[in-house]
Structure 1
Amino acid sequence: MLQPSLVKNDKKAKIFIWIVSLVVFAAVAFLAKFKLNFNPGFNVHVFAKFNAIINSAVTILLIAALVAVKQKNYILHKKLMLTAIFFSSLFLVSYICHHLLAGDTKFGDINHDGILSEDEKSAAGILRIIYYFILITHIPLAAIILPFILFTAYRSLIGEYEKHKKLARITWPIWIYVSITGVVVYLFISPYYN
């Protein structure tokens, strides 16, 4: 096993993790309601494409990290997981930028008027139901995953590997589901970007 990278201080760690998690959740929830009337001079949906690329990379990193830990290559596992956390942080910044600059896009809104007519709903068909099912499962899991990720990483960094392993059994499946469905949501909604 690896030597701990941090000195254990559960009280400070808990406060830090909960504050970061609540601030991020509040920022995403609050900023999702606003759209800046600002033209940056480029297609703002590049952020959404970047988010899909990041989510794809995080998915690959999570799978590679699982393989590494199964092979008892703990140093590689740690590097892959810290990289996944770094990429997820980049994702968060890009996600907020996209929503601030692009606003909301409705699935099936072919003419980009922000109103979904009966013809547009009909044209979207069953894909609309599939999209919303995936989105409805993706959003709450994406909202709750951050403290799980941070607590799981903290347990590892202080050398509490059994607690880390126990938490990772919850964190890893949720995190990979959120990463994969993030890409799927992008693939579904991107044809309706204007």
Structure 2
Amino acid sequence: MEKAAINEKRFNRGITIISIVIPLVVALLFGYKIPDAEPLYFLPPIYASINGLTALLLIVAVIAIKNGKRKLHQNLMTTSIVLSALFLVMYVGYHMTSDSTKFGGEGGIQYVYYFILITHIVLSIAVIPLVLITYSKAYLKDFENHRRWAKYTFPIWLYVAITGVIVYVMISPYYAY
């Protein structure tokens, strides 16, 4: 087996493990409260801002690659991955120290909020392997497959980043500080 195929097989194994472990660990930690911990009430606006910044960087990264700026594109995408990981750490930290906030809107806005929230959560799980596969294709210099995967990954990741901000804006009046 050639070296590129071996590397791709290793990446795929790691991607599969990470794509299963992250949602499971987040689900487990989401249900765990750190006893006597000071609530991290300051985090939601920070991680919502990180989502917004990630959305902007994703758009700029696509513009960069369309203009032939590969290194800038790579740096922006790597930064977006780091920001997404940072978001996840803050999100879990907040929920391990604070009670979940219930959406207080009434009427039709509830349906809008829960639709956005549910699609955001489902797609945030789905985007993990998509991002890792797409990134690994570029890392392995398989740019043709990278572009194929990116056609699906980009809009989903952008949706997750933007809806993260929308969910925060919609629920923020109901936070108990």
* TM-score (normalizing by structure 2): 0.92
Aligned-pair identity in percent equals 41
Aligned to 1:180: 162
Q: Structure 2: which amino acid aligns with 1:18?
A: T
SS at match of 1:34: coil
Q: Does the CA contact (< 8 Å) of 1:138 and 1:182 recur in 2?
A: yes
User: Counterparts in 2 of 1:38-117, with a 5 A limit?
Assistant: 38-40=36-38, 44-108=40-104
Q: Does the CA contact (< 8 Å) of 1:34 and 1:103 recur in 2?
A: no
User: Counterparts in 2 of 1:98-177, with a 5 A limit?
Assistant: 98-108=94-104, 124-177=106-159
Structure 1 gaps, min length 5: 1-6, 109-122
Greater helix proportion: 2
How many residues get paired? Answer: 172
SS at match of 2:55: helix
Superposed CA RMSD in Å reads: 1.4
Q: Does the CA contact (< 8 Å) of 2:137 and 2:145 recur in 1?
A: yes
Q: Does the CA contact (< 8 Å) of 1:36 and 1:101 recur in 2?
A: yes
Once the two structures are TM-superposed, the CA of residue 85 in structure 1 deviates from its matched residue by 0.6
96-105 or 179-188: bigger deviation: 96-105
Runs of 4+ with deviation above 3 angstroms: none
Structure 2 gaps, min length 5: none
Q: Does the CA contact (< 8 Å) of 2:135 and 2:146 recur in 1?
A: yes
Q: Structure 2: which amino acid aligns with 1:100?
A: M
**d(CA) in 2 for partners of 1:131, 1:178:** 14
Matched, 1:33 2:31: yes
